[in-house]
A and B are shown apart, each in its own frame.
Chain A
C-alpha cells in the first residue's frame, strides 16, 4: 500500500537510522544551499541528497522524478522571468516579441541559475527527510525538542485517526458516487456537504469510543513515548562528514566564481 509519501518513508531502509543525524544532514543542506553565492554547491547538495534518497533510501527513481517535477515547474517559470527581466551586464541573447525586446543578460542568467539551484537543493533536502523519515519516527524528536507533551500526544492520536477517517471518507464518497451523488455540480455540493457533516459526527463519536478504550487499559492522563535507541554508526558518521566537508570546500572554492 503506497499512496502517500509517508508510506514510502515507512518502507525505506533509511527509516531505521538515527533521526537526529538525518535532521542534521537536512538542516545543513538547507542552510548551505540557501547561503551559497554560486549555483555549484546547491547543485552538488541536490545531487548528493537525491543519491541518498534513491540509492540508500530505495525510493523508486521514477516516483522520485515525478515528485521533483511538480515544484520544478514552478521554479522554471520564476527562473525564466528572472533571466529575462533582471540584470544589467553584457547581452547574451535577445529577440523581439511583437516589437517588444526580450534580452537575457549575463548577471541576470547568473541570478536565475542561483535561484534554480537553491530551490532544487532545498527541495531535494526536504524530500530526503520526507521519504526516509515517517511521521511515527518524528514524534519522539518532537517531544525531545521541547514541545509540550500534550501537543505531541494529540498529534500521535491525530496521525493515527487521519487514516481511519480517510478510509471512512473514501467509503462514504464511494457510497455517494454509486448512488449518483456527484452527478452534476449542484449535487456534488450537496453530497460533499453531507460527507463533511457525517465525518464530523463520526469523529466526535470516535473520540468517545477512544476515551472508553483508553480507560479500559488504565489510561491515567499520559501516554508514554518509546524512543528506540539508534546510535549513529561509524560508516554513517564517516559518510556524513565526507559530505559535509566536500560541500564546505566547494562552498569556499566557488565564492565569487561566476559560471557564465
Chain B
C-alpha cells in the first residue's frame, strides 16, 4: 500500500538554484527506506517537501493517494502523520526541558491532558530517557539529544518517520542505539525514511533505496540489486558497501558461493565455502585412500570451531611427506538461542537460566531491556546487532540468551528462523516467559525442548 508518493516534483530556491528535478517516488507502508546521495544532492529539500514544510514549484505530493492541499487544516494533518527529525538536534530542541520539548507536538494537537501525558511518557520510555525528563537539553549528550528529538516526533504518533542524516555526529554506540530504536518503531508498523551518505548503513538496513545525485533521482531498487550497479554508484559519487566488496573479493577467489548479496555478518559467513582440501603432514605409513582422523581443529586453524572431529581421506601423498586430504566434517551440536521476554521479568530467574542453561553469551535488545539489565548488573556481551551476533555465536556451538520485550521477541524469532531456513543449519531456539505460545514454536518444539530450563 502506497503511503507517500510524489509526481513530477520540482523545486527551486528563491535565488533560482534548482534543488529538485522531476522526482517520482512511491513509498510503501511499513518499509524502511533510505535516500542515498552526496551532500547537497537534494535529500533534505525533498524531506521538507514530503512534510509540507515547503511547497513544490511543480508537481505534487500525495499522502494515502490524496494530494497535499497547502491549507492550514490539511497541513496540520500531514505534519501529524509525517514526522520529521532534523539533522542538527539543536535546531529541533527548543523547550527548556526534555519533557516540555517532547510535549510540544502533542500539545499543539490539542490532546486532552491525560492523553498528552501518556503519549509523552510512552515516547520517553521508548527512547529510554524517562529519568531525564526534567533536564534542560544542554545537559544531554549528542546521542541523547537525538533521542529526545525522535521522541518529540514519535509522541505525535506519526505513520511515517523521516530522519535527515540520523547518525551524523554520533559515536558508534549512540548510532547503534538510534538504529535499534528505528528498527523497533518499524517493527511496530511505522514507515521509516532516512537520508544518509553511508552506503553500508543503507545497504544493511533498508528495504528499498533511492539514489540521488545533483537534484535528481538516478536510481532506485532493493539494496541487493541497486548496490551491485557500480557504474551507478560512481555516478552518484559513492562507493560499494564494504561487506559487498569483501564478498566480491572472496567470490572472485572461489572462497565464497556466487550470486549472493550478503548484508549481515551471518549471511556473509554463510556464503563462505569451507575448504575441502588441505595440506597436512602425513604420518609414517599412511597410504593414499586411507582415512586420517585429525581430531578437533584447534588453535590457529579455527579458534571457535563448530566441528567436533574431522576425518580426512588421503588423496595424494607428496614425496616430501606432505599429503593432500579431503575433509569430512561432523558437526557437533550447534548452540542455541533463548529469547527471554522482559515484559515480565525476574532477576533470580535469569541468573538461574544463565547458570543452569550454561549460557555464555547474553545480549539485550530494546532500550527497556537494556536498562533493566543495567539496573540489575547483568553483564551484557552485546547490545547492538544482537540477533546477528547471537546467530554467529550459536553457530560456534555456544548458548546465547537474548533479553527483549514486547513484540520484539516475535521479531527476533522470525529473524532467526529465516536464517535457519536460508542456511539449512539447525539451531536450537526457544522462548521463555512469553505469555502466549508463538505460532511457529511447534515447528521447532523438539529442538527447543532441550534448551528449556
Contact = CB atoms under 8 A, between A and B. Distances in A.
Given A15-B134, A160-B95, A164-B138, 8 more contacts: A136-B97, A163-B137, A209-B86, A209-B88, A213-B91, A216-B84, A217-B79, A224-B103
Nearest to A1: B139
Given A163-B136, A217-B104, A217-B153, A139 B96 contact: yes
Interface string A212-243: 11111111100111100000000000000000
A161 interface: yes
B79 A226 contact: no
Nearest to A15: B134
B97 to A, nearest CB: 5
Interface residues of A, number: 32
B108 A219 contact: yes
A223 B108 CA distance: 8
Nearest to B99: A226
A223 B95 contact: yes
Given A10-B139, A218-B79, A160 B91 contact: no
B51 A216 contact: yes
B76 A218 contact: yes
21 contacts: A10-B135, A136-B97, A157-B94, A159-B96, A160-B96, A160-B137, A163-B137, A164-B90, A164-B138, A167-B138, A206-B91, A209-B91, A210-B91, A216-B53, A216-B84, A217-B104, A217-B105, A218-B76, A218-B156, A224-B107, A224-B108
Contacts, number: 85
Interface residues of B, number: 35
Interface in B154-209: 156
Interface of A: 1, 7, 10, 15, 134-136, 139, 156-157, 159-161, 163-164, 167, 206, 209-210, 212-220, 223-226
Contacts of A7: 139
A160 B104 contact: no
Pairs A-B, 5 closest by C-beta atoms: A163-B138, A224-B107, A217-B105, A218-B108, A136-B96
A10 B136 contact: yes
Contact of A212 (B53, B80, B137, B153): B53
Contacts of A215: 53, 79
Which of A10, A157, A160, A161 has the largest number of chain B CB atoms within 10 A?
A160
Contacts of A167: 138
Interface of B: 48, 51, 53, 76, 79-80, 83-84, 86, 88, 90-97, 99-100, 103-105, 107-109, 134-139, 152-153, 156
Residue with the highest number of chain A CB atoms closer than 10 Å, among B84, B136, B153: B136
Contacts of A226: 99-100, 103
- State the main secondary structure of chain A at its contact with B: helix
Nearest to A212: B53
Contacts of A223: 95, 104, 107
B248 to A, nearest CB: 41
A210 B372 CA distance: 36
B149 to A, nearest CB: 9
Contacts of A209: 86, 88, 91
Nearest to A206: B91
B78 to A, nearest CB: 10
A135 B90 contact: no
A224 B108 CA distance: 8
Contact of A161 (B79, B80, B83, B94): B94
Given A163-B136, A216-B84, A135 B51 contact: no
A120 B95 CA distance: 35
A156 B96 contact: yes
